[in-house]
Structure 1
Amino acid sequence: MERQFHFISGLPRSGSTLLSAILSQNPRFHAGMSGPIGGAFNTMLGELSGRNEYSVFVSDEQRRRLLKGLFDSYYGSEYSADVVFDTNRAWCAKMGQLKELFPQGKVIACVRHVSWIIDSIEQLIRTNAFQPSSIFSYQPGGTVYSRAEGLANGEGMVGYAYNALKEAFYGDQTDSLMLLRYETLVSSPVRAIAAVYRFIDEAPYAHDFENIRYQADEFDLRAGTPGLHTVRKKIVARERTSVLPPDVFRRFENDMFWLDPALNPRGVWVV
């Protein structure tokens, strides 16, 4: 049986690593943090475009085979899973290509209150005060205001993902898209994961939500951001006070378009 591919995308700091850690408990599944396939996909698209003088010899069918081959080659015999979830924030901006390459594939976009995403990143930066982060190109300067601005602009870590999410949400492949709220995942994990299984048409599996395991300490350390992919053993919704100045927090508090039914004309499933 051909291996099934699905995709985890959406906003950063919104539960994608936690979702992957949970799904990986199922022996039929493989899921992890963001990997290299998204970047390789974009690079290959560029190299096969008109900017390469030899692109005249490449047909669209060859492009499809080469791009699909990235997944088949990367997830080779080293991975025994029948179902693979590849994670990358760029997938929301590639819904059309993914639909052609993987007609049965689904995209699960993790979302969260944008103010709390900015807050979560700022908290990480403050926790690792002596380690400049790759999130800000290892630059040690800046303020909470410049960091929030950099994250939110169109090329920033949050802004790019937010725009890609809206492109998918209002695009033509919404039958392949589900939005999973971070707030639901941490407060009602049983309901959240049950919805994922229904969406991808897989038989339910008895997950252990009090014994979650995931580790990427070496990656996080090299990125200058220890704790970036930390997943707690037990899923618990935690309340705390934001570290952001009030004006920065308020700037993003109305950006959750997915909560307004009037802004969901295609009826995207939001859990």
Structure 2
Amino acid sequence: MRNIHFISGLPRSGSTLLAGLLRQNTRFHAGMSGPVGGLFNTLQGEMSGRNEYSVFISDAQRRRILGGLFDDYYGPEFTAGVLFDTNRLWCSKLRILKELFPEAKVIACVRHMPWIIDSIEQLVRRNTFQPSSIFNYQPGGTVYSRSEGLANGDGMVGFAYNALKEAYYGEDTANLMLLQYETLVSDPAGALKAVYDFIGEPAFAHDFDNVSYNADEFDLRAGTPGLHTVRRKIEVRERRSVLPPDVFRRFENDAFWRDSALNLRGVRVI
């Protein structure tokens, strides 16, 4: 019997780094965002009332089909006993995940918001000759239009941020934990201990000086080389933001998880 957990949260907040660490444990399978979330959404849509044949599909069948998606995708070629599926939309699916997998945990990676926008802008500038899939391969725009596009409700950051807030303030937080990027890079041992305690797995000796994850082919095809690059050694790296001061300030107060008074349901924040 395999256990499944979920990695979600904000982009550029350490989910690939976390996966790179977790996969050091041979009992675990973890990776970057994959196709299961999109398939899950599509199946939900196709079994809804917009499909004229949905009258022939019961909720019991919907449950089996959606749960079976994970069994079918993570088939016998995945031999790990503990699976982590990564996708930013999982924060918007806490209720249905609880119904399908009552024991599953959701680890939401978060980061001070200006540095998320900064990290994406830095990628764009670094890859001057390749328009990015993040902006639908459009070569125009400025740092202002890019930050606006990222932050709107359908944007790469805005959707994930709204999904995170929905999860954090919702009624299904018992299996939710927020892992701050700042904690992961400054105290990786403490961060991983918290993760293992949260998912109920025995401790494992991770190598924080030798983390490996390679998605170069995917990143190149997305027109964003370096999107999933993980530095081998985990350490805090100080640098100046590439954002104009007004753009940085716009997002400076968005880290709601840092205010304990707003943590109405006692969500674990590491």
User: Do Structure 1 and Structure 2 share a fold, with TM-score over 0.5?
Assistant: yes
- Give the distance between the partners of 1:156 and 1:51, measured in 2 at CA: 25
- Give the distance between the partners of 1:35 and 1:69, measured in 2 at CA: 17
The answer to whether 1:145 aligns with 2:137 is no
Question: Identity of paired residues, percent?
Answer: 74
1:215 aligned residue = 214
Report the 3-state secondary structure (helix = DSSP H, G, I; strand = E; otherwise coil) of the residue aligned with 2:109. Answer: strand
Deviation of 1:78 (Å): 1.0
- Give the distance between the partners of 2:24 and 2:157, measured in 1 at CA: 29
Deviation of 1:48 (Å): 0.2
The answer to whether 1:92 aligns with 2:82 is no
1:131 aligned residue = 130
Matches within 5 A, 1:254-269: 254-269=253-268
Q: Which runs of 5+ in 1 are unaligned?
A: none
2:37 aligned residue = 38
2:165 aligned residue = 166
2:188 aligned residue = 189
1:180 aligned residue = 179
- Give the distance between the partners of 1:33 and 1:270, measured in 2 at CA: 22
Deviation of 1:166 (Å): 0.3
Report the 3-state secondary structure (helix = DSSP H, G, I; strand = E; otherwise coil) of the residue aligned with 1:175. Answer: coil
Deviation of 1:172 (Å): 1.1
Matches within 5 A, 1:218-237: 218-237=217-236
1:156 aligned residue = 155
In the TM superposition, what whole-angstrom CA distance separates every residue of 1:48-96 from its partner, at most 9, and x where no partner exists? 0011111111010100100011110000011100000000000000000
- Give the distance between the partners of 1:62 and 1:170, measured in 2 at CA: 30
Report the 3-state secondary structure (helix = DSSP H, G, I; strand = E; otherwise coil) of the residue aligned with 1:77. Answer: coil
The answer to whether 1:118 aligns with 2:117 is yes
The answer to whether 1:106 aligns with 2:115 is no
Opposite residue 208 of structure 1, the aligned amino acid is D
- Give the distance between the partners of 1:27 and 1:173, measured in 2 at CA: 30
In the TM superposition, what whole-angstrom CA distance separates every residue of 1:83-131 from its partner, at most 9, and x where no partner exists? 0000000000000010010000000000000000000000000000000
2:26 aligned residue = 27
2:55 aligned residue = 56
TM-score by length of 1: 0.99
Deviation of 1:173 (Å): 1.1
- Over the aligned positions, Cα root-mean-square deviation in angstroms equals 0.4
- Give the distance between the partners of 1:133 and 1:48, measured in 2 at CA: 33
Opposite residue 75 of structure 2, the aligned amino acid is G
Runs of 4 or more off by more than 6 Å in structure 1? Answer: none
In the TM superposition, what whole-angstrom CA distance separates every residue of 1:212-234 from its partner, at most 9, and x where no partner exists? 01000000000000000000111
Q: Which runs of 5+ in 2 are unaligned?
A: none
